[in-house]
Amino acid sequence: MLQNENIVCLSNMHWAGHMTSKQQIMSRLAKQNRVLYVNRALTFLSQFSGNEEIPAQRQFKEMFQGPHEIRTNLFVATPPFCMPLRYSKPSYMFNSRILLIWLKKTLRYLGMENPIVWSFLPELGRAVKGLSKKILIYHCVDEHTAWGFWWNSAESVKRREIELLKVADLVIATSNNLKDSKSEYNSNCYFIPNAANFDMFGKANYADTEIPSDMRNISRPIIGYTGMFLPDTIDVDCIEYAAKTSGYSFVFIGKKLRRDFDLSRLEKLENVHFLGFKKPDVLTNYLKWMDVCIMPSTRSKLTDAVFPLKLFEYLSAGKPVVATRTKELEKYSGYIYLSANSEEFLQKLSIALKENHIQKASERIEIAKKNTWDVRVEEISGLIQETIKKRQENI
């Protein structure tokens, strides 16, 4: 693992939000390095968007608190407001300048010199270009051009991302599709898929893991989903068909991240239960009492390009998994059940329930053990060390 480095993580997620790859990776690297985790900047319009996982009022207060150490060597900070329409040229130029000034000031305050700059955001090429650094990493976890917000066109997003790709020393892509598309602009691009915190999610297999009170009266079998509620990650038509046809109980753990995502058709069904967002330390209690876990995404440019974070989390819990068929998941078809439409989804649920026995569960747990965040951080550390060595040799 990397040691004795200064690392600046420019994240697209707030530290206190949904636990994703950014928090998992940085929390591990902070054990032997100093890490500054930078939350994504708010715009003046963020509080009205309905798309903020963390209340805008809280984030506004954090801007004035400066970096704070949440654990040894791990600092979290929220940068100043940025201009909306952040991919347009005027906003891009202005925001890059403001972020660069703020980063330099914050790094001086923390005494972090010559850091590894690690961006999960595609629009930071200009800002980080002006920052003194050891190397620049672009960690691509989404096809950002496919998010579909009218105020940031796919063309403008791609333009900014290409600018970052061309100046990055190392590009990490979480799916093969992303690797193929980003390699066109940077040959030092590697596929590193998402993973799971096995120690946490494996607790779902413990005999003493208690059933949560809000699940005790839900009839079995229970088909479960954990994560963010987005139009791309939950196929409402598919779930509605399965719930009405089967009579199975469907439990959703998480929260809606887009105000315009209409879940009312599911909320009206007696056998569909939305139990809200749960903290990571109790999430395994819910997983334990799910009979089958699902990844019912719609087919889109966005979902075809990502590697689902939930895959190895579910497998760590030993659960059978039914998912929408994508290119990235084909490799794991021996461990999960893939479907192409609503009818096949329901069929695979039935098969998964029938085949839910100890031998299958053991096989799922074993593949999960090979795909932990500890393993991924070691893989990424190797790539970073090699990239640093090559850059030093070329100076």
- The chain-wide mean pLDDT, for the chain, equals 93
pLDDT in tens, 108-123: 999 999 999 999 999 9
Who's near 174: CB < 8 A, 6+ residues apart?
Answer: 21, 139, 140, 141, 191, 192, 193, 194, 306, 307
Distances (CA, A) of 130 to 104, 165, 167, 168: 10, 15, 11, 13
Neighbours of 390 (CB within 10 A): 13
pLDDT value, residue 148:
60
**Mean pLDDT for the stretch of residues 292-316:** 94
Who's near 346: CB < 8 A, 6+ residues apart?
Answer: 241, 242, 245, 246
pLDDT in tens, 150-208: 567 888 999 999 999 999 999 999 999 999 999 999 999 999 999 999 999 999 999 99
Residue that is written with structure tokens 């004795």 in the block:
4
Which pair of structure tokens corresponds to residue 91?
Answer: 């906003």
Strand order in the sheet with 170-173: 68-71, 74-77, 34-38, 6-10, 116-119, 135-140, 170-173, 189-191
pLDDT in tens, 127-136: 999 999 999 9
Q: Is pLDDT above 90 for 322?
A: yes
Q: Which residue has the higher pLDDT, 260 or 277?
A: 277
**Mean pLDDT for the stretch of residues 341-360:** 96
Query: What global pTM score does this model have?
Result: 0.94
pLDDT value, residue 300:
86
**Mean pLDDT for the stretch of residues 321-344:** 96
pLDDT value, residue 81:
87
Ordered structural domains, the chain, with CATH: 6-195+372-394 (3.40.50.2000), 198-369 (3.40.50.2000)
pLDDT in tens, 47-81: 555 556 777 778 878 888 899 999 999 999 999 98
Residue that is written with structure tokens 């007696």 in the block:
270
% of the chain beyond a pLDDT of 90: 82
